[in-house]
Amino acid sequence: MSVLLTTACAVPAAGAIVTAALPAGTTESRRRTTKAVALAFSVAALGLAAAIAARFDSGGPRYQLTEHYSWIRAFGISFSFGVDGIGAVLVLLTAVLVPLVMLASWHDATPDTGDSVAGGPAPEGSFGSNTFEGRRRTQGYFALILAVEAMVLVSFLATDVFLFYVFFEAMLIPMYFLIGGFGDKAGGPEQARQRSYAAVKFLLYNLLGGLVMLAAVIGLYVIAQNQNLGTFDLQALTSAIADGKLVIDPNAERALFLGFFFAFAVKAPLWPLHTWLPNAMGESTAGTAVLITAVVDKVGTFAMLRFCLGLFPNASKFFAPAILVLAVIGILYGALLAVGQKDIKRLVAYASISHFGFIILGIFAMTSQGQSGATLYMVNHGISTALLMLIAGFLISRRGSRLIADYGGVQKVAPVLAGTFLIGGLATLSLPGLAPFVSEFLVLVGTFTRYPALGIVATLGIVLAALYVLVLYQRTMTGPVKASVSGMPDLKARELLVAAPLIALTIALGVYPKPLTDLVNPAVADTLSQVHRTDPAPAHPVAAPAGGETK
Per residue in 386-425, is it b (16+ CB within 10 Å) or e — as a string? bbbbbbbbbbbbbbbbbebebbbbbbbbbeebbbbbbbbb
In this prediction, residue 358 carries a pLDDT of 94
In this prediction, residue 542 carries a pLDDT of 58
Task: Report pTM.
Answer: 0.88
The sign one gets for the Cα dihedral 180, 186, 187, 188 is positive
The whole-angstrom separation of Cα 203 and Cα 209 is 10
In this prediction, residue 131 carries a pLDDT of 39
Q: Which residues face 343 on adjacent strands?
A: 403
The 3-state DSSP class for residue 72 equals strand
The whole-angstrom separation of Cα 341 and Cα 349 is 10
The whole-angstrom separation of Cα 236 and Cα 239 is 5
In this prediction, residue 485 carries a pLDDT of 84
In this prediction, residue 81 carries a pLDDT of 94
Nearest to 347 by CA among 275, 280, 278: 278
The whole-angstrom separation of Cα 367 and Cα 44 is 36
First to last CA, the chain: 48
The 3-state DSSP class for residue 82 equals strand
In this prediction, residue 118 carries a pLDDT of 31
Q: Which residues face 64 on adjacent strands?
A: 83
- Identify each DSSP E strand in 294-424 by its residue range: none
- H-type helices in 56-125, by residue range? 85-104
409 conformational bin, left if phi > 0, alpha if psi -120 to 50, beta if neither? left
The whole-angstrom separation of Cα 80 and Cα 68 is 4
Segments in the chain below pLDDT 50 = 112-133, 550-551
